[in-house]
Structure 1
Amino acid sequence: MRAALGCTAILLLPALPASAQGSLNLYCSATIEWCTPIARGFERESGIRVVLSQKSTGEMLAQLRAEARNPRGDVWWGGTGDPHVAAGEEGLTVAHESPRIAELHDWAQAQWRQTEGRTVGVYASVLGFGFNTELVARRNLPAPRCWADLLNPAYRGEIQMANPNSSGTAYIVIATLVQMMGEEPAFDYLKRLHGSINAYPRSGTAPITAVARGETALSISFVHNAAEEAAAGFPVGHAVPCEGTGYEIGSMSIIRGARNMANAQRFYHWALSAEAQIAASAEARKLQTMANRNVPLTDGAPNMATARIIDYDNARFGAGAERRRLLARWDREVGALPR
């Protein structure tokens, strides 16, 4: 069963024997179906009890800010990298170096270097479209292949995109379009697209879930989410935009003032290992590209190497000031528009 979207899920995982080596408070911004295997896998490997809290990246960043004077979390794992970068800039997370850094893909190492060690990539995935193949056929809609296609009047009221104020996925949509088109044309595009949007849910995975359930025809989503829905038997197709697209780096950070710092560092090293990434992604049936080079691409997973990916500027668009500026502009010029 899916966890309620956009809400907090707190899991107190089964108690461990008396020999357990303390505890770890794990903040997770991936789906609960992935957060749980990560937590359980570390418990099995370490004997450390994990207390798990799951929220979207935007909501978790807000929580870290609220808890800055009295941190309750130890490690923040998963979710789009931009909020992790912002947290590092604000002094909410601390730099750390793992001996496994050299095992990671270039994009994961680059994020670690750009943030001076405050966050590191743990997985990546490509931004694109998901669509319900049955609804598209029934309503005689063309399957989208390009960003320009989404402005087709036939799609009016047929598209979902998450709210960028709470969803890292949706913020990456804005940042991608700004980098591809330029800021003025990108916001003109978003305003025109607004007329076709039927909802801006809080969670980045909510739109593709709605596609899979037949509640909307199209979504702007990470294509691995669409591939996962198709693998689960839902009538879902996906496409990577023909003009090019951005991507997310799912990230990991150690929280400043962590009460269980030694355990946080142990988790950090473990989570970067090929063994941990293979086991957790297999159990959760996730199709992202994992950060460790020794993790093979899962059958059915979108291949980043063959997608037309832009040179996404993580340093600029992950910066807190730029993020706040773009979100404020979206609120004024797009989010406030009537539908």
Structure 2
Amino acid sequence: MGKTIFQCCARNSIARLIASAVVGTTLLFAAPGISHAGKITVYTSYEEDELAAFLDAMNKDLPDVEVDVLRLSTGDLRARMLAEADNPKHDVIWGWAATSMVDPRIMEMLEPYSPEGIDKVPARFRDKDGYWFATTGYMGAFCVNNEEMAKDNLAMPSSWQDLIKPEYKGKLVMPNPASSGTGYLHVASILQMMGEEKGWAYLDELDKNMDQYIKSGSKPCNAASAGENAIGISFALRAIKNIDEGYPITMVIPSEGAGHELEANALMKTSQNKEDAKKFLDWTVSKSAEAEYNKWKSIVTMQGRDMPEKFKKAGLPDDISTVLFEVDYAWAAENRDRIIAEWQKRYEK
């Protein structure tokens, strides 16, 4: 996706600031690498709609902190930060893939910081040395069209193993991991949970039942919702939204555990305004931030989350950790290029 600049401050509404994105771009790059008291620059990969909601809540809680936000997709943001490594232009990373955050070249740019309230975030969702922590994330799930399954008298799948049954031949659609973070989290989690030899053998079998691979993580669920495919391998939040909108689908979380990606936050050691950068990071684990995350995210890592009713109705448990496969983020990051190259060699037609 193309970049979008949001600027948040006490004097303006979010809607007005989104409308003045060009002005925001000028402000962001007018003085690269320089921050002043009360102003910080934040890089993020949150989606535009959720980002606007999060910034609106932050603006109410931190009216004296002005925030310039650059939003790019995960891969584009990674490329930008590496290109700027000798002269970083931001103070904070917010809502960015943990599997990218653990890149040693990125880690070298970070300064450990434990925000006020970090104890609410379990250790599995933060770096052991305090370089990053994740407050949100997204998880894999299957979107299964009830009508298509009934039409062909097919049983509802409950696991990855079910998806390689011969009766599902031509019924599946999945994101391409070379273009989709959701696609990669599925492949990486399968290879981790099964081991690489058995994992690739499984993916060979899964490929036999696949109708198509597509670029987007959400489109497989949309295709299943529309009846174009019986089963879309996608992510939970899209399933929840589509169920809430009345589509005839069931969300299935694979019994082996759902692969997932964390959206992590960190402090840049080159920040020129660490006082306000730390205020911002403190806010990201606040009750106010958590309340807003709850409206948008399938994974909110703070303990004691009050799971939204529509999420529970769609099938998420109150304790999301009980259905997540424990991903090794560093392994997923270190092996990404190799895994994608092997996947493309095997399955791209």
Pick from 65, 86, 89: which aligns with 1:72? 89
Offset, 1:292:
2.0
Which amino acid in the other structure matches residue 293 of structure 2? S
Pick from 186, 198, 201: which aligns with 1:185? 198
48-57 or 263-272, larger mean C-alpha shift: 48-57
Which amino acid in the other structure matches residue 102 of structure 1? D
Q: What secondary structure is seen at the aligned counterpart in 2 of 1:176?
A: helix
Aligned residue in 2 for 1:54: 71
TM-score, structure 2 as length reference: 0.78
Superposition RMSD in Å: 3.0
Pick from 104, 113, 121: which aligns with 2:121? 104
Contact 1:167 1:204 in 2 (8 A): yes
Pick from 134, 153, 173: which aligns with 1:121? 134
- Distance in 1 of aligned mates of 2:179 and 2:271: 24
Contact 2:57 2:288 in 1 (8 A): no
Q: What secondary structure is seen at the aligned counterpart in 1 of 2:178?
A: coil
The answer to whether structure 1 residue 235 and structure 2 residue 245 are counterparts is: no
- Where in structure 2 are the equivalents of 1:197-276 lying within 5 Å? 197-201=211-215, 203-258=216-271, 260-276=273-289
Which amino acid in the other structure matches residue 44 of structure 2? C
- Distance in 2 of aligned mates of 1:77 and 1:194: 35
Offset, 1:186:
0.9
Pick from 56, 68, 84: which aligns with 1:40? 56
In structure 2, relative to structure 1, the CA distance for the partners of 1:275 and 1:308 (3 Å cut) is closer
Aligned length: 319
Offset, 1:183:
0.2
Aligned residue in 2 for 1:281: 293
Pick from 82, 91, 94: which aligns with 2:111? 94
TM-score, structure 1 as length reference: 0.80
Offset, 1:182:
1.3
List gaps (5 residues or longer) in structure 2: 13-35
Offset, 1:306:
7.7
In structure 2, relative to structure 1, the CA distance for the partners of 1:194 and 1:98 (3 Å cut) is same
- Distance in 2 of aligned mates of 1:29 and 1:83: 11
In structure 2, relative to structure 1, the CA distance for the partners of 1:290 and 1:157 (3 Å cut) is same
- Distance in 1 of aligned mates of 2:97 and 2:168: 28
Contact 2:143 2:249 in 1 (8 A): yes
In structure 2, relative to structure 1, the CA distance for the partners of 1:175 and 1:14 (3 Å cut) is closer
Pick from 4, 19, 30: which aligns with 1:10? 4
Which amino acid in the other structure matches residue 188 of structure 1? A
Offset, 1:212:
3.7
Contact 1:28 1:53 in 2 (8 A): yes
Percent of residue pairs bearing the same amino acid type? 25
List gaps (5 residues or longer) in structure 1: 1-6
In structure 2, relative to structure 1, the CA distance for the partners of 1:78 and 1:162 (3 Å cut) is farther
- Distance in 1 of aligned mates of 2:219 and 2:91: 27
Contact 2:9 2:59 in 1 (8 A): no
- Distance in 2 of aligned mates of 1:133 and 1:26: 42
In structure 2, relative to structure 1, the CA distance for the partners of 1:12 and 1:58 (3 Å cut) is closer
Which amino acid in the other structure matches residue 93 of structure 1? L
Pick from 275, 299, 308: which aligns with 1:298? 308
Q: 1:112-164 CA deviation, whole Å, 9 max, x = no partner? A: 21xx2221021245432112334444455543221122223444444332232
Q: 1:170-224 CA deviation, whole Å, 9 max, x = no partner? A: 22212211122110121122233234041331x4334334434545432222324
Offset, 1:327:
2.7
In structure 2, relative to structure 1, the CA distance for the partners of 1:134 and 1:64 (3 Å cut) is farther
